[in-house]
Structure 1
Amino acid sequence: MQASTWLWALACASVLAACAPTEPTQPADPAALREWMAEQRLQFNARNARSAAAAAGAGTVPTALPAIEPVAAGRGVFADPFDARRLSGLPPAPGQRPERADPPLLAHPLSALRMVGSLRRGDEVVALVQADVQIYQVPVGAFLGKNQAQVLRITEEGITLQEPPRGLPGQSPARTVTLPLQGR
């Protein structure tokens, strides 16, 4: 019992000795401390003055920034961003088809597409169309299938599409097709 007490006392003494400074400490010079505090205060005030001037609008900052539109907004996946006709805002030239928004749905024939449901967001109705294993949201006005049929109406029973005329213009009328809702 006596030996363990001595061991604890020795351990505490060695810990305290390890924490002791190796060099003798001198009391801080009050004048040097005041000088250092004055320097730090000047540096702090200079930094705050610069940031306050920037926050107050020392530079020219526009009051209303223009709306930022994403680069790909309203374009197909492979659209040319430098196309002069698109940049001018003119409609497509005769014989040219307008931009199609969803190329994956244009790669499949209409017979391979299935309407599996619909969603309503406020006044807008969106059809859920399955192509292979992927499901896409299709709004009114979108194009589907290899024949590029345009979505005219979406109901709970199906999608009404209009296929463009085949062959020469004026020879065959546009065809209306319905893609019915299909369950699993």
Structure 2
Amino acid sequence: MRKLASLACLLLLSACGDSDVQEVRQWMKEVDAQTRVAVKPLEEPKTFVPFAYAAQDAPDPFSPNKLLAELAKARPGGGIQPDTGRRKEFLEGFPLDTMKMVGTLAKGGVTYALLQVDRSVYQVRQGQHLGQNFGLITSISEDTVNVKELVQDATGDWVERMSKLELQDSKESTQ
């Protein structure tokens, strides 16, 4: 049994001989000798021309003083401004988004809108002021109140903004 195992090991080792390896090595030498390496030559690097910064003594473009000077040039007349000397009306103490239009009323040829603020209802007509942004009622129809407000934009100028209050449908059901 021992001899049989030794014989099997010898047969296995003889199979690992160097027969095919020589052919592969010979083929690799031939291919290596025939192959030509072609490398393109590198381009010349571009010449760097340094930039001379000549604006060191110029005013800073992000200076707040320069910005204020430019804004003063842009608005010579001052544009639209609210009348701050006018006595404020009661509904100017409430933001426009807290008001709801709940109906209209006509008396003596004048149309009034009924606006609800909190739990109270107020009558307003065209020409009255309301809201915290100097709102002026420009028109009233059966289902809308158009309001022209004066608000400040990012530069501090006063601009007109149109808003509207629309009729709110009653959500209460009668039983």
Shorter-chain TM band: 0.3 to 0.5
Specify which structure has the bigger relative contact order, considering alpha-carbon pairs within 8 angstroms and separated by 6 or more residues.
Answer: 2
Higher Cα Rg, which structure: 2
Q: Structure 2 length normalisation: TM-score?
A: 0.46
Q: Structure 1 length normalisation: TM-score?
A: 0.43
User: Which protein is richer in strand relative to its size?
Assistant: 2
